Amino acid sequence: MTTTPSTTSKAVPDEQFDDLTQQRQAVLMGMWIFLATELMLFGGIFTAFTVYRFAYPDVFAEAATHLDLKLGTLNTVLLVTSSLFMALAERAVNAERRRLTLTFLLVTISIGVIFLGIKGYEWHHEYTEKLMPILGLEFIYPGANPDRAEMFFNFYYVLTGLHAVHMSMGLVMLTVLVVFTMRWRDPPRLGRQIQINGLYWAFVDVVWVFIFTTQYLLRA
């Protein structure tokens, strides 16, 4: 999980490792375990959501209709597309194609930013509709059982908010990778870094698919 570029000669592993293969395997494994922890993090919240989804099925299904399905779908498509470009960036760096790597990374970042923009627009929209029960804001819900519906929105904001935080961290890391790519000091190392960041990006993508399914699609 080291992200600092090496300034020393190229094919030397970090001092704790015997060789580069060992290092590569260790770093990959570290990232996979980290993703397992992320899975448990979101898993805890999804579990809580599931409990209430079963407790109040009708209210939650009804509340979900107040989310913008079109924008949600658009965002899903965008994010999956960005993962595609991330994967392409990995290929490009392994083929030692600097400009191409750079392009793919920048496209990935742009799509990510657009995703967050759309998400922000959705939140703003919900705010104006008075469907944002946060920090004591007024919550005026047109349907039945507004208190249970508020619970639905609470989960919606927790999940999408936490996801957005993860996206933002991903974007920061991708930006660092852009800088590394521009320097192009140690392409094999950069390849490893892009690979593990790609794993993270794919994970964030998968989490979104779950959020999309449970929040937007399970509607009345």
Partner 1 sequence: MSEAAANQASESYLSSGWRIRDWLLTTDHKRVAWLYTISITAFFFLGGLAALVIRLELMTPDGDVVSADAYNQLFTIHGVVMVWFFLIPSIPNTLGNFLLPLMVGAKDLAFPKLNLISWYIYTVGGLFTIAAVITSGVDTGWTFYTPYSTQFADRAVVAALTGVFVVGFSSIATGINFIVTTHKMRAPGLTWFRLPLFVWANYATSLVMVLATPVLSATLILLILERMMGIGIFDPALGGDPILFQHLFWFYSHPAVYIMILPGMGVVSELITCFSRKTVFGYHGMALSILAISVFGFLVWGHHMFVSGQSLYAGLMFSLFSFFVALPSAIKTFNWTATLYKGKLIFSAVMIYALSFVGLFTIGGFTGIFLASLAVDVHVHDTYFVVAHFHYIMVGSMVTAYIGGLHFWWPKMTGRMYPELWAKVAALALFIGFNLTFFPQYLMGYAGMPRRYQTYPEDFQILHVMSSLGAGVLAIGYLLPLVYLLWSLRWGKRAPPNPWRAAGLEWRTDSPPPKHNFLEPQTVTGPPYDYDTIDNK
Interface positions with partner 1 (CB under 8 A): 1-2, 15-18, 22, 25-26, 29-30, 33-34, 36-45, 47-48, 51-52, 55-56, 133-136, 147-148, 150-151, 154-155, 157-158, 162
Q: Give the three-class secondary structure for 132.
A: coil
The CB-of-135 to partner 1 minimum distance in angstroms stands at: 5
- Report the residue number, 92 or 131, with the smaller CB distance to partner 1: 131
Decide if 86 contacts 54 (C-beta within 8 A).
Answer: no
Say how far apart CA 169 and CA 203 lie, in whole Å: 13
Judged on CB neighbours under 10 Å (0-12, 13-18, 19+), 189 is buried
The CB-of-67 to partner 1 minimum distance in angstroms stands at: 16
The two three-digit tokens of residue 108, written as one number: 């990935």
The CB-of-53 to partner 1 minimum distance in angstroms stands at: 12
Alpha helix stretches (DSSP H) within the chain: 20-55, 57-64, 69-94, 98-128, 146-183, 187-211
- Report the residue number, 2 or 6, with the smaller CB distance to partner 1: 2
- Report the residue number, 25 or 65, with the smaller CB distance to partner 1: 25
The CB-of-140 to partner 1 minimum distance in angstroms stands at: 15
